[in-house]
């Protein structure tokens, strides 16, 4: 094939693992928006101008022009609010779950006007909906931080040094009065570096056939007078060392944010049953230092839960 679209970091020619997007309807707006990070490849002998859209029953998809990608190259893109559909009703999810398919459509053009279509590639993706409030599910863990503690979560720098902070806060919450906030330290002066802060906690999952973690996070780049800027590159969710979800693009030194800022994002991941797992939520940042250092990068977590049935 001459162009390809993937949702993982697995390189061709290895087969793309099956990917499922998990979503929880509880407290979502209506209509619901779908954001997704994809990776696209150009195996043609010439550079191509890429465009992506999609199709699916009940869905409305945007059409995004991705620009020129050179021969033999690949790139990541986070497509924020790429598609929308009416929020599924409780009745649509018998026993708390349902699945549907959408099709992602990648096109390669030879011209910048996107008129001379040369290649099309389609990938079918499963969307698995759950209703975490359904009586079929048991809430095994709920961390809403409303007791004023971090409830067993911890923080560390995964890349680069310094001492990050983890605090109970009330500035951005999903359920009052509190959430928790992980924050990088100020970068050393006049140093431009990659930094990644990890929020983590271990859990022992129940011995049931279906286990899900529901993670609501919000990230930003905070202002600090006189210091250099920071740019958020990706948010990654791991189960131990296994990457479950990647939102954004791999780290680079471009002065741009690759993940949505200043809004809550919901990430739902399946977990193995009857296992002890460490969940890791990582924010990766480009910090551009000056004589006073570089800005903080922060993210919040609230209403975390693990459910099972």
Per-residue pLDDT tens digits for 67-126 = 999 999 999 999 999 999 999 999 999 999 999 999 999 999 999 999 999 999 999 999
Instruction: Give the model's confidence band at 1: pLDDT under 50 very low, under 70 low, under 90 confident, else very high.
Output: low
The CATH classification number of 3-130 equals 2.60.40.10
Q: Check pLDDT > 90 for residue 294.
A: no
Q: pTM for the complete prediction?
A: 0.94
Averaged pLDDT for residues 147-168 = 96
Q: Check pLDDT > 80 for residue 178.
A: yes
Which residues pair with residue 135 across a beta bridge? none
Rounded to whole angstroms, the Cα distance separating 213 from 194 reads 28
- Percent of the chain exceeding pLDDT 70 equals 100
For position 296, what pLDDT does the model report? Answer: 84
Q: Which residue has the higher pLDDT, 177 or 226?
A: 177
Per-residue pLDDT tens digits for 269-283 = 999 999 999 999 999
Angle at 195 between CA 194 and CA 199, to 5 degrees: 150
Q: Which residue has the tokens 């928006």?
A: 33
Q: Where are the beta strands (DSSP E) in the chain?
A: 3-6, 20-24, 32-42, 48-55, 59-61, 64-69, 74-85, 97-109, 117-130, 138-143, 154-159, 165-169, 179-183, 192-204, 211-221, 230-239, 242-248, 264-270, 276-288, 297-308
- Total Cβ atoms within 10 A of residue 6: 21
Q: Check pLDDT > 90 for residue 242.
A: yes
Per-residue pLDDT tens digits for 34-61 = 999 999 999 999 999 999 999 999 999 9
By the 10 Å C-beta count (0-12 exposed, 13-18 middle, 19+ buried), 301 is classed as: buried
Q: Domain map of the chain by residue range?
A: 3-130, 138-308
Q: Check pLDDT > 90 for residue 219.
A: yes
Per-residue pLDDT tens digits for 181-215 = 999 987 777 888 999 999 999 999 999 999 999 99
Average pLDDT value over all residues in the chain: 95
For position 9, what pLDDT does the model report? Answer: 87
Which CATH topology does 138-308 take? Answer: Jelly Rolls (2.60.120)
Averaged pLDDT for residues 13-22 = 92
Per-residue pLDDT tens digits for 120-148 = 999 999 999 999 999 999 999 999 999 99
């Amino acid at each position: 094939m001459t162009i390809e679209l993937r949702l993982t970091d697995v390189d061709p020619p290895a087969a793309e693992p099956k990917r499922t997007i998990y979503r929880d309807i509880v407290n979502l707006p209506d209509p619901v928006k779908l954001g997704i990070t994809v990776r696209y490849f150009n195996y043609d002998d010439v550079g191509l101008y890429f465009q992506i859209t999609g199709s699916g029953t009940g869905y409305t998809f945007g059409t995004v022009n991705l620009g020129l990608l050179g021969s033999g190259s690949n790139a990541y893109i986070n497509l924020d609010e790429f598609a929308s559909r009416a929020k599924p009703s409780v009745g649509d999810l018998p026993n708390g779950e349902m699945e549907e398919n959408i099709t992602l459509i990648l096109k390669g053009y030879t011209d910048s006007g996107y008129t001379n279509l040369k290649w099309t590639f389609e990938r079918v993706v499963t969307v698995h909906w759950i209703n975490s409030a359904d009586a079929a599910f048991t809430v095994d863990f709920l961390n809403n931080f409303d007791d004023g503690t971090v409830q067993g979560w911890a923080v560390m720098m995964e890349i680069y040094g310094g001492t990050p902070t983890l605090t109970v806060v009330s500035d951005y919450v999903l359920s009052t009065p509190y959430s928790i906030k992980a924050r990088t330290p100020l970068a050393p002066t006049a140093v431009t570096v990659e930094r990644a802060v990890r929020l983590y906690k271990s859990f022992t999952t129940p011995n049931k056939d279906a286990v899900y973690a529901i993670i609501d996070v919000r990230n930003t780049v905070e202002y600090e007078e006189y210091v250099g800027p920071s740019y958020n590159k990706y948010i990654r969710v791991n189960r131990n060392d296994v990457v479950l979800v990647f939102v954004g693009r791999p780290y680079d030194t471009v002065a741009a944010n690759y993940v949505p800022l200043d809004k809550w994002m919901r990430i739902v991941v399946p977990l193995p049953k009857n296992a002890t797992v460490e969940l890791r939520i990582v924010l990766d940042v480009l910090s551009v230092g000056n004589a006073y250092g570089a800005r903080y990068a922060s993210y919040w977590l609230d209403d975390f839960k693990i459910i099972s049935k």
